């Protein structure tokens, strides 16, 4: 077929921010190539921004709606109306799917249209396709992911250049990685929404954003990163989703990774997801996870897939419960008065709680100002894997001791035995 006799495929674009403007630029640019492959020529039938465009008119004139406006109110309304009107929808909106995914996937099935969302998780890295297509029918045991480019950029800049948190965040915003309000990035909420979507696909069970506890990077300091370097560890914001005793644990938190871990060398705004399944051992997919043209490329890939007749996904049969407590290894940083018996008392609390110490480093940080007055010391411990409730119970007891001079800081460590 020549490109000249290609039928038009009308794409209505909702949103004209970093991703929307990149879609508006890239789609016409690639239209010939897409027409050559699919026999349909994509054209932008209308653009809705905050100040221009009419949704009803765009809907009436489109075969497919691209939703890259963000937010969960207007975006949900427009996606629901598009699906009900029998239009395919491509969205990059992770919060929308993590909060209303079941409703929207249900509507897509009822109306026999496609709802595609590769760009919602890990930018252009094709992890949704791999879970939905390549690994369909496989038993996935565990996922680990670096799924937020902004925080990965901030942490690697702080480690590599000693940049402050604030200046690294400003750079990430400038480069177009961050959300319009970067709070979702740095608190871990953006990553939690992405992990909810990945877990939903990997384990074929509904996972809502509220099922995913998350912790961000705002409280991390340059000191934590410097210690990590000394210990041969890299600090990353990690999402994990795993089966434990017939239930699920899905969470997001900062974690130290040993150098051999497949995610330890993922730098800058790159994202990566490791999928473990008995049939395949593990695969790691990585690439640019944020940025206008990268995310727009994933959107356009979905537009092309939607031009092909849809395969209907049956509704999920499973509904798995969620685990309350999981086992982790931890790094613990405690500021103490440097006097006899302090280390012994900390060791005793940890021992009584069943927490086993793997390594400990003590540094004197300040001498006493008068003879006989205790100085200040810093203890940095790494503990063996333990139930988190036990560990945090021990940290609470340690924090209540009179020799502890600042709130202890704890960060999870991902086991060096990857896949163990």
Strand order, beta sheet including 233-244: 281-288, 270-277, 142-146, 233-244, 247-258, 409-414, 327-338, 375-387, 357-366
The 3-state secondary structure of 287-356, one letter per residue: EECCCHHHHHHHHHHHHHHHCCCCCCCCCCCCCCCECCCCEEEEEEEEEEEECCCHHHHHHHHHHHCCCC
- Least separation in angstroms between residue 60's CB and ligand HSE is 30
Tokens of 72: 């969960």
- Least separation in angstroms between residue 317's CB and ligand HSE is 30
Question: Does residue 142 sit in helix, strand or coil?
Answer: strand
Closer of 214 and 227 to ligand HSE (Cβ): 214
- Least separation in angstroms between residue 99's CB and ligand HSE is 15
CA atoms of 13 and 420, how far apart (whole Å): 45
Cβ atoms of 68 and 14 within 8 Å: the answer is: yes
Closer of 13 and 332 to ligand HSE (Cβ): 13
- Least separation in angstroms between residue 406's CB and ligand HSE is 31
Closer of 180 and 348 to ligand HSE (Cβ): 180
Closer of 41 and 144 to ligand HSE (Cβ): 144
Q: Can 367 be counted among the known catalytic residues?
A: no
Residue tagged 């879970």 (tokens): 131
- Least separation in angstroms between residue 159's CB and ligand HSE is 17
Check 87, 94, 194, 401 and give the catalytic one: 194
Site of interaction with ligand HSE (CB under 6 A): 123, 148-150, 177-179, 185, 190, 289-290
Q: Minimal CA–CA distance to 66: which of 23, 116, 12, 117?
A: 12
CA–CA distances in Å: residue 174 to residues 155, 170, 171: 16, 6, 5
Residue 44's CB is within 10 A of a number of other CB atoms, namely: 17
Buried b (16+ CB within 10 A) or exposed e, 124-157: bbbbbbbbbeebeeeebbbbbbbbbbbbbbbbbb
CA atoms of 278 and 142, how far apart (whole Å): 10
Closer of 290 and 411 to ligand HSE (Cβ): 290
Cβ atoms of 261 and 232 within 8 Å: the answer is: no
- Least separation in angstroms between residue 149's CB and ligand HSE is 4
Closer of 155 and 411 to ligand HSE (Cβ): 155
Helix (H) or strand (E) holding 206: none
Pairing mode of beta strands 7-14, 64-67: parallel
Closer of 3 and 183 to ligand HSE (Cβ): 183
Q: Minimal CA–CA distance to 273: which of 282, 260, 261, 286?
A: 286
Tokens of 190: 């953006």
- Least separation in angstroms between residue 70's CB and ligand HSE is 10
Positions marked active-site: 194
């Amino acid at each position: 077929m020549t490109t000249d006799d290609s039928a038009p495929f009308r794409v209505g674009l909702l949103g004209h921010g970093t991703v929307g403007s990149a879609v508006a630029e890239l789609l016409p640019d690639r239209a010939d190539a897409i027409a050559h492959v699919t026999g349909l020529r994509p054209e932008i039938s209308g653009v809705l921004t905050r100040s221009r465009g009419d949704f009803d008119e765009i809907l009436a004139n489109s075969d497919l709606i691209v939703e890259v406006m963000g937010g969960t109110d207007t975006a949900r309304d427009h996606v629901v109306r598009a699906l009900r009107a029998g239009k395919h929808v491509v969205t990059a909106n992770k919060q929308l799917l993590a909060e209303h995914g079941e409703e929207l996937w249900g509507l897509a099935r009822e109306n026999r249209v496609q709802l595609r969302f590769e760009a919602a998780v890990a930018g252009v890295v094709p992890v949704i396709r791999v879970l939905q297509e390549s690994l369909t029918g496989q038993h996935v045991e565990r996922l680990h992911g670096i799924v937020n480019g902004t925080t990965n950029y901030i942490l690697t800049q702080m480690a590599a250049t000693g940049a402050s948190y604030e200046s690294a965040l400003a750079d990430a915003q400038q480069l177009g990685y961050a959300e319009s309000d970067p709070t979702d990035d740095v608190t871990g909420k953006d990553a939690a929404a992405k992990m909810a979507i990945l877990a939903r696909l990997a384990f074929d069970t509904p996972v809502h954003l509220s099922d995913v506890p998350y912790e961000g990077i705002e409280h991390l300091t340059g000191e934590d990163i410097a210690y990590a370097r000394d210990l041969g560890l890299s600090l990353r914001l990690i999402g994990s989703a795993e089966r434990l005793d017939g239930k699920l644990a899905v969470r997001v938190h900062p974690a130290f990774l040993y150098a051999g871990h497949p995610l330890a060398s993922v730098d800058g705004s790159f994202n990566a997801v490791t999928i473990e399944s008995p049939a395949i051992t593990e695969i790691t997919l990585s690439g640019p996870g944020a940025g206008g043209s990268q995310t727009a490329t994933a959107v356009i890939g979905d537009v092309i897939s939607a031009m092909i007749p849809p395969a209907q996904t049956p509704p999920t049969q499973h509904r798995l419960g969620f685990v309350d407590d999981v086992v982790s290894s931890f790094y613990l940083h405690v500021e103490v008065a440097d006097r006899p018996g302090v280390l012994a008392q900390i060791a005793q609390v940890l021992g009584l709680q069943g927490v086993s110490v793997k390594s400990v480093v003590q540094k004197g940080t300040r001498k006493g100002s008068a003879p006989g007055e205790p100085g200040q010391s810093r203890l940095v411990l790494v503990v063996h894997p333990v139930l988190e409730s036990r560990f945090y119970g021990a940290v609470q007891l340690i924090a209540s001791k009179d020799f502890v001079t600042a709130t202890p800081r704890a960060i999870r460590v991902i086991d060096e035995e990857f896949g163990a």
